[in-house]
Amino acid sequence: MKPEFVIDATNFMDIVKNLSFESIDIYLEDKNIKVIAGKSEFLLPTMDPEEFPEIVPNKVEEGIITFERQKLLSMIERVIFCALRDSENVSRNLNGIYWDFREGGYLTLVAADGYRLALSELSMDIINTPPSFLLSLKSMEELLNVLRSSKTENVELFFDGARVLFFLDDDNIEIILNVVDATFPDYVRIIPQAFKTKVITSTDLFLKVLKRVSIAAKNDQVKMEIKDSIMELTAKSPEVGLAVEELEIEKEGEDIIIAYSPKYLREAIDHIGTSEVEFNITSESSQTMIKPVGDDSYMYIVMPVRLK
Amino acid sequence: MKPEFVIDATNFMDIVKNLSFESIDIYLEDKNIKVIAGKSEFLLPTMDPEEFPEIVPNKVEEGIITFERQKLLSMIERVIFCALRDSENVSRNLNGIYWDFREGGYLTLVAADGYRLALSELSMDIINTPPSFLLSLKSMEELLNVLRSSKTENVELFFDGARVLFFLDDDNIEIILNVVDATFPDYVRIIPQAFKTKVITSTDLFLKVLKRVSIAAKNDQVKMEIKDSIMELTAKSPEVGLAVEELEIEKEGEDIIIAYSPKYLREAIDHIGTSEVEFNITSESSQTMIKPVGDDSYMYIVMPVRLK
């Protein structure tokens, strides 16, 4: 179905928002739309409806996947902050979220920026597993905004190979997003399998200590010295000086001294959501895996920084 | 009086804000301050107290000027948005607010950015008229923040020739600001004396029409066509199209067609504060003076833009 006429949505919304009249009249005059309200008159150029893309995918009942809105929202929020911001970079494939469907009813959302990666998983009843796809950060942010302001219980997803349709049941809203034609890196390869040191501590306490010690880090590193039952966090900078604080932990494996970007640690902790957090450290120079204790649906992988 | 030790206020505040303990201990150790609270320990470098400037001016009773806080606040707010933002520019003298005291108990605050100028005036009981001075935009913003959050009734000002002291009576807060060593332009010369066209209209209505028509202006101009009893506002841009709206006015003098930056018009109207606004137009290419009807303590002068 082709539209009658096509106008710029942002400009049109801007106009309608600022009109304080009871009713507005809209006329199509040649290639312009005339909007009249009170003594206000707007003449808006239209675009060629023939060039308006055919965007509605042909839904096939068996291909529809149903999500609880709240669950989908939280899955996206737990990974989106890791996506690479820069879209003009060579790593265009990182400027988005990868929707990885796997046989058996598994969906994993993945976002990464080259220094860290976040992954949230969901197990569902799926009749036909669709192919995996990549959606741009921009379109994911728009979807997120709609999901946040909606009150619908369920969201349906349908993928026709090029476009993804999200349907918000109760709101009767359809959102159609083009997938990005780029290959997302093989993230499974990045998930470490063996660990040298495993640490469990209180998420809340760790966050408080991290916040305080980070003050002295400025934009530099926070050092974690891990011994039996104690973790010492340290940071220093010429401007602020030195900050040191201890924290009780449970530890398995070797003692280690390791450093991270305070921002990258902080953002991981912000998305843990359980009372205890687990650090799985492979070495001072390879990936650390951070996850909520008792929740296997979330994982955050971060590169340590070189100790100063 | 010299201080015992000097530390960075921002960093220290940041630390204290994030400590969640009942009490903190502070020690001076050599050239560092040690802050201990619970298991947190901070070591902060201090600065040389000898290099801390002697900042307290020698107050002389007769030189003190008393303001009502609310009145001073509003005077500053009505001009500060016009100050030049860029401090690294050659026009360093515009990156602030000029406090112009004149015999007879008059104070005029003036800010300008080369395209427009705002001026607010106050008449007071002054025993000794102090010299006029210029305060930087940054220090004025800080003063404004303090004035906004304070509940004190009166603010005292004292100027010793190099530093201005503001004293907030009820809060017992002293703010000492260095004046900027630069000459503010002779703004009186810029105030137009004779007008070709004078227009009076409803401030509220004008603002609504301006807002709507500005949508089509994007960042370009808004055109005002002034005839007897009617002003027509027009704006256009390739993206949005065309917007036209009429407004009832009272007019003295000649018909005129004139254009302005929508932002500069908008910010003027935002600071009018009376139900009617007056436009005093000299010509299409020279200063327009905008003022509240019935309030001679405020004036806004803006350059029109070249008609397209």
From A28's Cα to the closest Cα of chain B, the distance in A is 14
Q: What was the pLDDT predicted at B87?
A: 67
Instruction: Using alpha carbons, list the distances in angstroms from residue A184 to A118, A129, A161, A188.
Output: 14, 18, 16, 11
Residue B106 structure tokens: 């008059």
User: Residue A301: its pLDDT value, please?
Assistant: 98
Cβ-defined contact of A20 to B208 (cutoff 8 Å): yes
Nearest to B212 among A18, A32, A240 (CB): A18
What B151-154 contacts at long range (C-beta under 8 Å, 24+ apart), as own/partner pairs, is B152/B69, B153/B68, B153/B69, B154/B66, B154/B67, B154/B68, B154/B69
User: Helices B203-217 and B262-270 sit at what angle, rounded to 10 degrees?
Assistant: 160
pLDDT at B240: 86
| Nearby residues of A84 by Cβ (< 8 Å), 6 or more positions away | A91, A94, A95, A112, A113, A114, A137
Would you state the structure tokens that stand for residue B259, as one six-digit string?
A: 């254009």
Cβ-based neighbour number of residue A83 at 10 Å: 22
Strand pairing report for A25-29 and B230-237: unpaired
Question: Contact at 8 Å (CB) between A106 and A286?
Answer: no
B43-92 residue pLDDT tens:
999 988 887 766 666 677 778 899 999 999 999 999 999 999 876 666 78
Residues 6+ apart with CB under 8 A from B188: none
pLDDT of residue A18: 85
Q: What is the 3-state secondary structure (H, E, C) of B262-281?
A: HHHHHHHHHCCCCCEEEEEE
At B121-163, the pLDDT tens digits run 999 888 788 999 999 999 999 999 999 999 999 999 999 888 8
* Buried-exposed string B94-120: b where 16+ CB fall within 10 A, e elsewhere: bbbbbbbbeeeeebbbbbbbeebbbbb
C-alpha dihedral (B224, B228, B229, B231), degrees to nearest 10: -10
What is the per-residue pLDDT for A224?
A: 98
Answer yes or no: are the C-beta atoms of B137 and B95 closer than 8 Å: yes
* C-alpha span between A243 and B39 (Å, rounded): 11
Contacting residues of B for A19, CB less than 8 Å apart: 212
Closest CA in chain A for residue B21: A208
Closest residue, chain B, to A233 (C-alpha): B40
Size of interface A-B (CB pairs under 8 A): 88
Question: CA-CA distance, A101 to A91, in Å (whole number)?
Answer: 22
Angle at the Cα of A150 from the Cα atoms of A146 and A155, rounded to 5 degrees: 80
Across the interface, of B43, B209, B240, the residue whose CB is closest to A44 is: B240
Q: Could you give the ipTM of this predicted complex?
A: 0.72
User: Where does the pLDDT of residue A244 fall: very low under 50, low under 70, confident under 90, or very high at 90 and above?
Assistant: very high
At A172, is the secondary structure helix, strand, or coil?
coil
Instruction: Enter the tokens of residue A5.
Output: 């006429």
How far is C-alpha B225 from the chain's CA centre? 31
Chain A residues within an 8 Å CB radius of B13? none
Q: How far is A11 from chain B (nearest CA, A)?
A: 6
Which tens digits make up the pLDDT trace of A178-200? 999 999 999 999 999 999 999 99
Q: Which residues of A touch B241 (CB under 8 A)?
A: 11, 32, 42-45
Between the alpha carbon of residue B96 and those of residues A68, A211, B70, B113, B147, the distances in Å are: 55, 36, 21, 9, 17
Phi-psi region of A114 (alpha: psi -120 to 50; beta: other; left: phi over 0): left
Picking from A269-278, B10-19, B205-214, which range would have the lowest pLDDT averaged per residue? B10-19
Q: What is the DSSP letter of B146?
A: H
8 A C-beta contact, residue A249 and residue A237: no
Angstroms from A217 CA to nearest CA on chain B: 11
| Cα A8 to Cα A46: distance, rounded to the nearest angstrom | 8
Task: Report yes or no: B257 and B224 within 8 Å, Cβ to Cβ.
Answer: yes
Average pLDDT, chain A: 91
Residue keyed to tokens 């990974």: A79
Interface of B with A (CB under 8 A): 8, 11, 14-15, 18-20, 32, 39-45, 208-209, 211-213, 215-216, 238-247
Output the CA–CA distances (angstroms, integers) from residue A87 to A93, A112, A113, A134, B207, in the order listed.
9, 13, 11, 14, 39
- Nearest CA-CA distance, residue A221 and chain B, Å: 16
CB contact under 8 A, A212 and B18: yes
| pLDDT tens sequence across A111-126 | 999 899 999 999 988 8
**What pLDDT is recorded for position A89?**
64
pLDDT in tens, B188-222: 999 999 999 999 999 999 999 999 999 999 889 99
Chain B hits for A40, CB-CB cut-off 8 Å, are: 209, 212-213, 243-245
